[in-house]
Amino acid sequence: MIRDPSDLQRYNASERANHWVVGICFILLALSGLALFHPALFPLTGLFGGGVWTRILHPFVGVVMMLFFVVMFFRFKHLNQMTQTDWEWVKRAKEMVDGDDHNMPEMGKYNGGQKLLFWFLGAAMLVLFASGIVIWRAYFSAYFPIGVIRIGALLHAAFAALMIIAIIVHVYAAIWVRGTIRAMLYGTVTRAWAKQHHRAWYRQVTGK
């Protein structure tokens, strides 16, 4: 891809690598988790070498995802503090969905919807990790009473489903807002994109 030298850098190589490791782990966890969740989806275990390997690999991939997510969380949390402007953006999000984003409040590097998703994913990851430890039969489940294990299994399944839905929305939004995906592929966005969708951030990085 030929990039315009006037494009703005949105993510450096380290940030993009961090994001893609988390993303790839999430895909592996979603597929393996669904395979273990319902017999109709059990054929998905073939992607991991069968049912036994799926059960072995799923929690270890979860640990890797959690470690890289923690790095990403602390890397970006200062940029995701909700402000009054962000809440105003959330209230008026339907205007943007309807195709009219010209009167939306000026946003910094992230808009209100992205910030809410960030904090939801942080909470979901915490619940998934904690409940995953409780139901990890090979190492930890023996230390917990059966009632706690059942609650852990329920929470794990529920928050996994919510997280899958949230990530689907996240990916759809990235595709829907043209020019967004290139930020995570190449690290840059056009000035026009930045000015339209994140005008406050545009002003900050360009001084205009």
DSSP 7: P
State how far the alpha carbon of 80 is from the alpha carbons of 15, 22, 28, 72, 86, in Å.
15, 18, 27, 12, 10
Cα 190 from chain centroid (whole Å): 23
The catalytically annotated residue of 19, 156, 170, 198 is 170
Spatial CB neighbours of 83, under 8 Å, sequence gap ≥ 6: none
| 193 in Cβ contact with 202 (< 8 Å) | no
Helix axes 51-76, 112-134, angle to 10 degrees: 140
- Tell me the C-alpha distance between 77 and 197, whole Å: 20
- With CA atoms as reference, report the closest residue to 33 among 44, 21, 20, 19: 44
- Tell me the C-alpha distance between 106 and 119, whole Å: 21
- Tell me the C-alpha distance between 67 and 76, whole Å: 15
78: annotated active-site residue:
no
Active site residues: 170
